[in-house]
Amino acid sequence: MAITFKCTCGQLLEVEDEHAGKQAKCPKCGESVTIPSTEEEEEPKCPGCGKPMEYDAIVCMECGFNRKTGRQLTTGGKPPKKKAREGEEEIPDESPIASSFSKSFVFPLKGAALAMVISMPLLRIGFAFIPLIGGIMYFGLFYSCLIDIMRTAAGGPRYYVEWPDFTEMWSEMIVPALIVFFAGFIVVAVPLGATMSFIGGTAIISQLGQLSNFRAEILPGLAGGAIVTGLVALFCASYFPMTLTIAGIYQAFSASLNPIILFRSISRIPKEYTLVALFVYAMLALPAVIGIGLMLIPLGAILMPTVQFYCWAVIASRLGFMAYYNRKRLGW
């Protein structure tokens, strides 16, 4: 008894039933095809989803699987979600914004990050006894620990923070700390400094001797200058967290100062970035609020370095998670 079936190219083939289940080569297209058995359904099934397909169909309309190329295509909407490889964490299609904020508070309390938070007051006191060099060492340690937290969070919340490599203090601690510090300093200080210099100018100084003009000319000028300075400060604050993210994770100093890269990255995740920026400035203000309470308890001032570092560690964790969950959309 003969079995008649079609190749994916449309060529009609006929073989004896004793060859059922074996592979055969199509004389027209040269592709290998599986010879169906007489008990199987006449319509072949899609290798991707298992749904029936027509004999001459190349692309499955259910899942978009191309039988010729063996690849998954998209028939509209979002592409099919790829499964994570063994040992990898599956990245969701949408960034889990709410859970990322809660994870940011817990992440600095795992692994070496917890030891960093606890030991910062002792390290600050210890380095204070070493003039100049101690300040440089504490500066490098403070920022390098935060960078390690951010970069670890950028790899996913399942990882644990480790201590920086103290054997390579200059390249692994001081240099990254300088990159992040000066990147953040330049993008804020330069625009604000230029604005204040332009507004402050010599015009107000030259008019200070004429007190009769204070209300008519100088006071409106000061008010207008304060408004302009405030707008520039708000503008700087809009991209400051993104600057820290790029400088901290990729150690890319020039890229962290490039306004095209900064605002292009922000435009790709506008909703989440706005929430992250507000979160960053709230965490920066939190130590001042907590410090008022610590002043009321004995030796409370000793705990301030811990509070300050923990708040910065939470910020670093949140920036790292932002980069991790949005790395496809950011295109970094």
* Cα angle 200, 201, 203; round to 5: 105
- Angle separating helix axes 112-128 and 133-153, nearest 10 degrees: 170
Contacts of 110 (CB under 8 A, 6+ apart): 160, 161
Distance of alpha carbon 211 from alpha carbon 277, whole angstroms: 43
Distance of alpha carbon 24 from alpha carbon 30, whole angstroms: 9
Distance of alpha carbon 14 from alpha carbon 5, whole angstroms: 6
Provide the residue-wise pLDDT of the chain in tens; the chain has 332 residues.
667 777 777 777 777 777 777 778 888 777 777 877 654 444 567 766 777 766 556 666 666 666 655 655 543 434 444 444 444 455 555 567 888 888 999 999 988 899 999 888 788 888 888 887 888 888 888 888 999 999 999 988 888 888 877 777 778 788 888 999 999 999 888 888 888 777 665 455 555 555 445 555 555 555 666 788 888 889 999 999 999 999 999 888 888 899 999 999 999 999 999 999 999 999 999 998 998 888 888 877 788 888 999 999 999 999 999 999 998 888 87
Q: Against a cut of 0.95, is the pTM above it?
A: no
